[in-house]
Amino acid sequence: MLRKFPLLILSLMFISLLAFPSLGLAAEDDDKPLKPVPKAFADKHMPSGWWTDEKVIAEGKKIFETRKLEYEYKRKKKVAKEGCATCHGINAKKDRPKKRGAKDFRSSNRMNRLSDSYWFWRTSEGVKKTSMPAWGKELSEEEIWKVIAYEHTWSHGNKPAVHDHKEIENTVEK
């Protein structure tokens, strides 16, 4: 009986991950279509030249690593004061996301699909029912674009690159 118990636990964990992928170890949702960008964000685009501007990227890195946001966490009365690096990691070459559910910016399969307007929308408005807060009231539009330019380098070997990928999904709400 004792030998069967660990096997039972492992089996239940595996079944849980299949049934509830958000619980942890399942692959990111790289194959699911992205939600359409709200019309209010459809015309938001990275300023010309910023994807590869090293000064912009350096400023985005500083914001990513140092700025903190105070927000109510998951509708509980608990207030968190966290920044991008708290959840996504700080080392673009080796860090996996530090919080469950945080997107791995190193994944080119995922990041190459995001239009700049989608990326801006998610950073600005946050993601409901997750711990991704809205940064639009804390950061200026310019600061958000700088952070996005920095995050983009993670999926390109920590090097600046133009965000012009054939995989980009560019759908807008009707």
Structure token pair of residue 30: 């790289």
| Residue 75 belongs to domain spanning | 33-154
| Mean per-residue pLDDT, 34-38 | 94
121 within some domain: yes
78 within some domain: yes
Tell me, what CATH number does 83's domain have?
A: 1.10.760.10
Check the CA dihedral 144-147-151-156 and report its sign: positive
Check residues 29 and 113 and name the one with the higher pLDDT: 113
Tell me what percent of the residues of the chain surpass a pLDDT of 70: 72
What pTM does this model have? 0.77
* Per-residue confidence (pLDDT) for residue 84, from 0 to 100: 85
- What total of structural domains would you count in the chain? 1
* Per-residue confidence (pLDDT) for residue 26, from 0 to 100: 33
Most confident of 21-35, 64-78, 154-168: 154-168
7 within some domain: no
170 within some domain: no
User: Which amino acid does the sequence have at 17?
Assistant: L
Q: Does residue 135 surpass a pLDDT of 80?
A: yes
Tell me what percent of the residues of the chain surpass a pLDDT of 90: 47
Closest CA to 90 of 81, 78, 82: 82
CB environment 110-136: b (16+ within 10 A), e (fewer):
bbbbbbbbbbbbbbbbbeeeebbbbbe
